[in-house]
Structure 1
Amino acid sequence: MKWFNTNALHNALNIFVGLILTGAFTGFDWTLFGMTDHTAMKISGGIMLAKLVINGYRDGLHGMVAPPPPAEEK
């Protein structure tokens, strides 16, 4: 799977967190999936922590706070 890299995983986690948080903040009934809104928030927090760890591993601590490189012009 050449297309699946840490950036693709990061984007997939963003989508998943967005779905969880949207449901948690709009009063979605998480009991349908066997969890409460508090559990949904804990899961999304864990995913956000995983994203930070992935970024730290991929870019290093300096890369997480350094300014981005200039965009390439086409």
Structure 2
Amino acid sequence: MPAPDFATEIAELERGLGSGVARVESEGESVTYRGVRDITKALAYFRQRVTEAPVAYPRSSTTLAAFDPD
């Protein structure tokens, strides 16, 4: 299962909130919210996850070598 894309979730929730739609679809899944309060709670949840998510940096696989002819 791939890691959730919080930015996509937030964007879809904001789009649904702005258009007054209670059903939001993201990455092939849909969720029907009961109202604005539920959508804003979901937005708060995903925004919190973004601030808690660790930043993944790619590991370096570079090896450095030096040659001294002396």
Normalising by structure 2, what TM-score? 0.54
Q: What is the percent sequence identity of the aligned residues?
A: 10
Alignment RMSD (CA, Å): 2.7
Please give the residue correspondences for 1:20-35 in structure 2 after superposition, counting only pairs within 5 Å.
20-28=13-21, 30=22, 33-35=32-34
- Distance (whole Å) between structure 1 residues aligned to residue 15 and residue 55 of structure 2: 28
How many residue pairs get matched? 49
Identify, as 1 or 2, the structure richer in helix: 1
Point out the structure with max Rg over C-alpha: 2
Going from structure 1 to structure 2, the CA distance change for 1:34 and 1:22 (only over 3 Å counts) comes to closer
- Distance (whole Å) between structure 2 residues aligned to residue 34 and residue 27 of structure 1: 11
Contact 2:33 2:39 in 1 (8 A): no
Q: Where has structure 1 moved over 3 Å in runs of 4 or more?
A: none
Identify, as 1 or 2, the structure richer in strand: 2
